[in-house]
Structure 1
Amino acid sequence: MKVLGIDIGGSGMKGALVDSVTGEMLTERFRIPTPRSRKPEEMAEVVKQIVEHFNHKGPVGVGFPTIIKHGICKSPGNLHKTWMNVNVKELFSKATGLPVA
């Protein structure tokens, strides 16, 4: 199965299509700088841009740099304080219209 993997980092947000069975990257990675504000809405927009770059219509897996419990951000870490208690899965699913894990 083809999955879009997205890594959210402090300086860049990167994505690539991956074979979920073999773990093999199917595309080159695509990178967009992390928004300076690191606010949820702006970062969700970048996730959407990465999905659109690959014209992906399937599942999306997101690596997130903070503590997530049952889809909820429990510590904003080095992100903006407004991440606290945000349902990350719901935010990114709404932004992309795709299932996000």
Structure 2
Amino acid sequence: MRNHSIGIDIGGTGIKAALVDTRSGVLLSERIRVETPEGAEPGDISLAVAELIDNFKDLKDQSAVGICFPAVVQHGFTRSAANVSADWIGLDAEGLFADALKRRVHILNDADAAGFAEIKFGAGRGSKGLTIMTTLGTGIGTALFYDSRLIPNSELGHIEIDGVDYETMASFAAMEKDGLSFQEWATRLNRYYQELEKLLSPDLFIVGGGISKKHELFLPLLDLKTKIIPAETRNSAGIIGAASLAAEIFRG
């Protein structure tokens, strides 16, 4: 079981888990999902995750667990909180989950986990230079990789353009809220990606999030210097990335 790890993807509405083959990025079990407890308090979420882990109780206790979370994560501490309780801010989340699960735990930002899955197993395999993964959903999550190495906690969805936190204009949620056509949304997306080009000169953009399944409706409408391609791991990206990075860290 050395190449098997459990991936946990914690969100504001649901918590998902699966066993991952960390050599191939393939799920070895069905994805199990429970609702995120109301209020998303640390104690309640740790209990919910512990109950999910019980589905894998046939695995040895030393099997690694990777957890991705909607927050900036520094050295195991959650420094922000998106759609979860403010009690997560400044919390030793890695210690909380390690105590609750009685296993080795690595925790990271959810966009970083999705990006890691794409770099290791998906559209970004073998990429050189600067790759920027963006996830288009309720907001815009981002992950930076240089020569396939993660630079954590980029949070570029909050970049200010024309005096506005631009994820409020260019996220998929903003498209739905404002009733935009794909053409109209693409105009906003183009503005966003051009700003990233101006600031960072990336070599590749990867676009994830649920809407990336319909990438043919909006990516061809963008006019960028940088190659932009859809993600491949999609709804399992957080689970795969969290499990695989945990496995690398604990093997090392």
Q: By percentage of residues, which structure has more helix?
A: 2
Cα contact 2:12–2:82 (8 A) shared by 1: no
Equivalent in 24, 27, 31 of residue 25 of structure 1: 27
SS in 1 for 2:34: strand
Partners of 1:11 and 1:92 in 2: CA distance? 19
Aligned pair 1:64/2:69, yes or no?
A: yes
2:88 maps to 1:83? yes
How far residue 53 of structure 1 moved from its aligned partner, in angstroms, is 1.5
**What is the TM-score when the length of structure 2 is the normalising length?**
0.39
Unaligned runs of 5+ in 2: 107-252
Spell out, residue by residue over 1:7-63, the C-alpha distance to the aligned partner (whole angstroms, 9 max, x if none): 001111000000111111000000010001100000000110111112143110001
Q: Which residue of 1 aligns with 2:45?
A: 43
Using the TM superposition, give the Cα deviation of residue 76 of structure 1 relative to its aligned residue in structure 2, in angstroms: 1.7
Partner of 1:53: 55
Structure-1 separation of matches of 2:34 and 2:83: 18
Unaligned runs of 5+ in 1: none
Stretches of 4+ aligned residues off by more than 6 angstroms: none
What is the rounded CA distance, in whole Å, between the counterparts of 1:59 and 1:46 in structure 2?
18
Residue 98, structure 1, aligned to residue 103, structure 2: yes
How many residues are paired up?
101
Counterparts of 1:27 and 1:2 in 2: how far apart (Å)? 11
Distance 1:10 1:48 in 2: 17
Match of 2:99, SS state, is helix
Structure number, greater radius of gyration = 2
1:77 shift after superposition: 2.1
TM-score by length of 1: 0.96
SS in 2 for 1:41: helix
- Secondary structure of 1:94 counterpart: helix
CA distance in 1 between counterparts of 2:30 and 2:7 reads 12
CA RMSD of superposed structures (Å): 0.9
